[in-house]
A and B are shown apart, each in its own frame.
Chain A
């Protein structure tokens, strides 16, 4: 067990909420506003943690336990993430499968908690979430297959540390396709425009945001913090794919990685500013298209 390995999860736990601050700042600049403080989410989290909570009379134990379980899932995900050449603290062969399943479990409990309230809104969000989840999972796994085929290892840490400038010369097309597919999944799984709109509270267009309407106090803090960690997890995957840093010294890797995460946040902000939200019927096409990109990458790799 190496101490430097724990820098990455620690960085994720500390800086993940900042990503949403950056996204909101970029969106504000595009709209000509000053925007909320960069640290707004931290303020919100601390405020919520000091409050009591309110539950619906229809609810049971499920909604009380769900925030802790889903946050635990995402925290474990951050333990599986490598950092350029640095291995993840909990890395083992096959951890990529576990990553997908932990995110799946987080989704599962969130959906159950949404149904627990008996609200028509939350039922609607839950129903959409499982639909898009069923399409996003094959896309995610096909992307993983490309990486396994490319690197010949089953551990995320080994896959990422195998990526170098030489990989870019031989199979740049694979990395670009998979990274693009991962970015689409990032937008989907984190309810960003053009899939979902995190700002349309109480509109009939939402997916993820509507499922958490009935949380309050510390529970809502857990949900918000979990959402920001999840955004970090997907951003870290994209950065690892696009920036070959395995051969650099550790301090340069750390700097480059954090810079990359920041750039992904800026990119999400730009995408949200210049694109409109898609009609719901178009979302499955986006997800199937993202799976198709990974499939193309697989075929390209097989033709080599």
Chain B
């Protein structure tokens, strides 16, 4: 989670702080770097929010989207408490950021060198700042809890009516009309269509009484199809000649060993004389 009061926020806060501090030196290279860091990280933050709301929302919220999901049930305690521990750790690092940073500082000092020039100096600087974010995280929790408490203590605050989700007067809404992962991501996928290369297939309904219609989209994994697959194919082609040596005939392998041994002997003897 990259929001306050969680751990991801503390990390990103420090990265932004480094970028913004860099920009104050005014040197062109650091300013350009800071622009890339701040702009890129902001974009990543926005996309991460889209990604996490999509993942959590489609998996856990709304009506079950398939027959399998209808039968879903909570996992056993043994599967839940490890996740609870991790979740508490996420919140704990966010709330007690200065302590967490003190734990990490020795490791950073090894990488940066204890005298570490500017880095060593700035290491002592950020400690009070996470203290401020930790303070804000605490007040955020307290304020949200307080507001919820007030809301429950209002004259009719505990009164709860139950009804269906607002359906705009439509008679038979079904769970299939909900937003799915694909439809949720569609605007962003459209925005980045040059990078994603989504393929659509199907025939749209035509005429007044369309007989059939179907529509299908497929978004290939851009990194796998355009980066890793060609890369690994190229490596495969490059090492193919070596594979010919591995033919499975034992006397051939004995020959390799003999040749290597003789070469080693010659090299050793040549080195001594």
Contacts and interface: CB of A to CB of B under 8 A. Distances in A.
Interface of A: 49-60, 62, 65, 67-69, 71-73, 75-76, 90, 92-95, 97-98, 100-102, 104-105, 107-108, 111-112, 115-121, 123-124, 126-128, 130-131, 133-138, 140-142, 144-145, 148-149, 152-154, 202, 213-214, 217-219, 222, 280, 284, 291, 295, 298, 302
Interface in B139-195: 139-140, 143-148, 151, 154-157, 159-168, 173, 175, 177-179, 183-188, 191
Interface string B126-149: 000100110010011001111110
A26 to B, nearest CB: 30
Contacts of A133: 46, 49-50
A187 to B, nearest CB: 18
B168 to A, nearest CB: 6
B193 to A, nearest CB: 12
Given A108-B3, A145-B38, A149-B24, 16 more contacts: A56-B166, A58-B165, A68-B151, A71-B147, A73-B140, A94-B17, A97-B16, A116-B57, A123-B62, A123-B184, A127-B185, A135-B191, A138-B40, A142-B42, A214-B165, A291-B39
Given A56-B164, A115-B57, A302-B31, A131 B151 contact: no
Contacts of A134: 43, 46-47, 49-50, 188
29 contacts: A49-B154, A50-B155, A52-B159, A53-B157, A53-B160, A67-B151, A72-B140, A93-B132, A94-B13, A94-B17, A94-B20, A97-B20, A104-B3, A111-B57, A112-B56, A115-B57, A119-B165, A126-B179, A126-B184, A131-B187, A131-B188, A133-B49, A134-B49, A135-B46, A144-B20, A152-B24, A154-B20, A217-B156, A291-B39
B161 A52 contact: yes
A213 B43 CA distance: 28
A55 B160 contact: yes
B82 interface: no
A29 to B, nearest CB: 32
B61 interface: yes
Contacts of B165: 56-59, 117-119, 214
Nearest to A102: B4
Contacts of A52: 156-157, 159-161
Nearest to A80: B136
A111 B191 contact: no
| Chain B residues touching A, majority SS | helix
Interface residues of B, number: 77
B58 interface: yes
Nearest to B17: A94
Contacts of A111: 49, 53, 57
A68 B162 contact: no
A54 B160 contact: yes
Interface in B8-42: 9, 12-13, 16-17, 20-21, 23-24, 26, 28, 31, 34-35, 38-42
Contact of A136 (B46, B159, B160): B46
Contacts of B146: 72
A54 B4 contact: no
Contact of A302 (B28, B56, B139): B28
Nearest to B155: A50
Contacts of A218: 151, 154, 157
A94 B156 contact: no
Closest A-B pairs by Cβ, 3 of them: A123-B179, A52-B159, A118-B62
B63 interface: yes
Nearest to A135: B46
Interface string B207-233: 000000000000000000000000000
B6 to A, nearest CB: 9
A115 B166 contact: no
A169 B58 CA distance: 53
B45 interface: yes
Interface string B45-87: 1110110111011101111000000000000000000000000
Nearest to A57: B162
B187 A115 contact: no
Contacts of A152: 24
Nearest to B31: A302
A117 B164 CA distance: 9
Contact of A141 (B38, B144, B167, B178): B38
